[in-house]
């Protein structure tokens, strides 16, 4: 018998949903890889239970120093505009909410991208 795919959200996914719920303007997208986007620009991503947040250069530098973390890496590729959120911070929704809001505000400044592929 084939193994059943586990569809129960893990703890980090529940924490991500709780964080997204702090800002009613932001809607979670994606089932297997939850993310948020605005005008076709992704600004948060939960990849393999690790959270990445896109920040402006200034805020990114402050975040990296304050939380002693690094740029987010997925599939052996560094995502230069995204910080890796430490698990301890993911558990602190109140503190992390500030960075979600900063990320959302930063996403508003990015050039809109078409979301549908042209045929």
CATH number at residue 88: 3.30.1460.30
Range of the domain at 85: 36-109
Average pLDDT rounded to a whole number, residues 2-9: 58
Query: What pLDDT shows up at residue 6?
Result: 54
- Tell me how far apart the alpha carbons of residues 49 and 51 are, in angstroms, rounded to a whole number: 7
Give tens-digit pLDDT for 36-79: 999 999 999 999 999 999 999 999 999 999 999 999 999 999 99
> Does some domain include residue 57?
yes
> Does some domain include residue 4?
no
> Does some domain include residue 7?
no
pLDDT confidence band for 9 (50 / 70 / 90): confident
- The tally of domains found in the chain comes to 1
In the predicted model, what is the mean pLDDT of the chain?
92
4: left (phi over 0), alpha (psi -120 to 50) or beta: beta
- Tell me how far apart the alpha carbons of residues 91 and 115 are, in angstroms, rounded to a whole number: 31
pLDDT confidence band for 4 (50 / 70 / 90): very low
> Does some domain include residue 17?
no
> Does some domain include residue 64?
yes
Average pLDDT rounded to a whole number, residues 67-92: 97
> Does some domain include residue 114?
no
Q: Does 14 have pLDDT greater than 90?
A: yes
């Amino acid at each position: 018998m084939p193994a059943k795919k586990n569809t129960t959200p893990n703890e980090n996914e529940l924490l991500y949903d709780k964080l997204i719920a702090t800002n009613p303007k932001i809607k979670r997208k994606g089932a297997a890889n939850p993310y948020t986007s605005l005008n076709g620009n992704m600004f948060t991503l939960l990849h393999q239970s690790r959270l990445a947040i896109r920040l402006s250069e200034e805020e990114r530098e402050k975040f990296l120093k304050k939380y002693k973390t690094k740029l987010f890496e997925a599939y052996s590729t560094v995502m230069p505009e995204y910080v890796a959120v430490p698990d301890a911070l993911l558990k602190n929704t109140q503190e992390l909410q500030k960075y979600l809001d900063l990320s959302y505000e930063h996403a508003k400044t990015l050039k809109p991208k078409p979301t549908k592929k042209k045929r």
